[in-house]
Amino acid sequence: ETGVTQTPRHLVMGMTNKKSLKCEQHLGHNAMYWYKQSAKKPLELMFVYNFKEQTENNSVPSRFSPECPNSSHLFLHLHTLQPEDSALYLCASSQERGGRTGELFFGEGSRLTVL
């Protein structure tokens, strides 16, 4: 069982669909993240959760809605997406110690295609 598991690995959806991405970490970490990775662009941090509380939202459009029911699970709810939202969505977790960010552990990503 890998440390950070993302499902589904691939998702194709229409612009009017509603779908969700799921992330689960088995590492006992206290912080979880969503990143967006588009072709020829740096990784974009989308959301940060620390002890289940959202601590950062990097001006992400409201068509992306995160949910963190506990420190092991993170969801990204998707609705009325645009074709430019097609990307690899990466979940990561880390253990914060003394207020300093530890290394990130990534899942394998969910490849999203919006038609």
Partner 1 sequence: AQSVTQLGSHVSVSEGALVLLRCNYSSSVPPYLFWYVQYPNQGLQLLLKYTTGATLVKGINGFEAEFKKSETSFHLTKPSAHMSDAAEYFCAVSDGWGYSSASKIIFGSGTRLSIRP
- Decide: is 33 part of the binding site for partner 1 (CB under 8 A): yes
- Which residues in the 70-109 window bind partner 1 by CB under 8 A? 90, 92, 94, 96, 99-101, 103-109
Our CB check for partner 1 shows the closer of 84 and 100 to be 100
B/e letters for 18-54, b = 16+ CB within 10 Å, e = fewer, are ebebbbbbeeebbbbbbbbeeeeeeeeebbbbbeeee
Contacts of partner 1 in 35-64 (CB under 8 A)? 41-43, 45, 48-50, 55-56, 58
Using CA atoms, how far apart are residues 85 and 104, in angstroms rounded to an integer? Answer: 23
Site of interaction with partner 1 (CB under 8 A): 4, 6, 31, 33, 41-43, 45, 48-50, 55-56, 58, 90, 92, 94, 96, 99-101, 103-109, 111
